A = this chain, B = another copy of it.
């Protein structure tokens, strides 16, 4: 492969001049510039970004840590990240962590060695030891779909507590009273507990009594979790008329359980999801759900990281993007009906 020296030789100038036509073209006379450009073209010269990065201490490469790109939620978010990166001339190195600490550490070490300019950390809480690692590495970081109350790290997500509240309120407004929830795991303070807390706040606000032992089950956001959780829920609480699931996948899993049990959705039980991944509109019946601006979360997270890198003043510490209920076919308005 041709290097800057080859181009210099062919064009009959010094390597400094080659560098100048690439980085500050108008510092070079037109005649030489064109000669150089021709040589570059002729040799199919591509500047070596490693050499450049070594000098500038910038690589225009960003790191993304994501639990699992084959998860639809992250796939959509990642698309937003990549678009933002591409738009501003960055490349992305991505790593799936499966929420595994060792995998994350080794990915981060590898990214550090490759001199990425900064990274986005997705979906997991920032535990103290994670924070120590971030600090040691000394690279800018932005959180996507998670946040930290303890540490001053910029984050982009929806207001999960409010989303949980709005979900319950929506079902209540549709006339439901005996409402259950399939929540995320206890161990997930972000998308797990916050949504549940919002949900319970709405129940309290509406003075509906609510026995969490009978009305809440837990799952890890996946389809199978939703199916199993619905089964447990139904066994202890067959009077419920509406369900809120903390993810679309769990909502679909729950619907499948109900379907197999001969319980009609939404006639007998209404189901409300959360996320609005594309499956929500491709399933049957089409899922009513609390939509997250998934793509935008990814896009905004990378934009925020870029702002940090540009050093253009401190970015907003906590950005909350709006969620919104998308009405489709799985929630029935039962106002006026007699039970």
Contact = CB atoms under 8 A, between A and B. Distances in A.
Interface stretch (A49-57, A144-152, A161-169): A49-57
B95 A93 contact: no
Nearest to A114: B49
A284 B282 contact: no
A328 to B, nearest CB: 12
A46 to B, nearest CB: 5
A69 interface: yes
Interface of A: 1, 44, 46-51, 53-54, 59, 61, 68-72, 75-76, 78-79, 82-83, 86, 91-96, 103, 107, 109-115, 136-138, 223, 249, 252-253, 255-256, 259, 278-279, 281-285, 295
Contacts of A249: 282
Instruction: State the number of copies, please.
Output: 2
A44 B137 CA distance: 8
Specify the main secondary structure of chain A where it touches its partner: helix
Most chain B CB within 10 A, of A83, A115, A138, A259, is at A115
Contacts of A136: 44
Contacts of A110: 91
Contacts of A115: 48-50
A69 B59 contact: no
Contact of A91 (B48, B95, B279): B95
Nearest to A64: B94
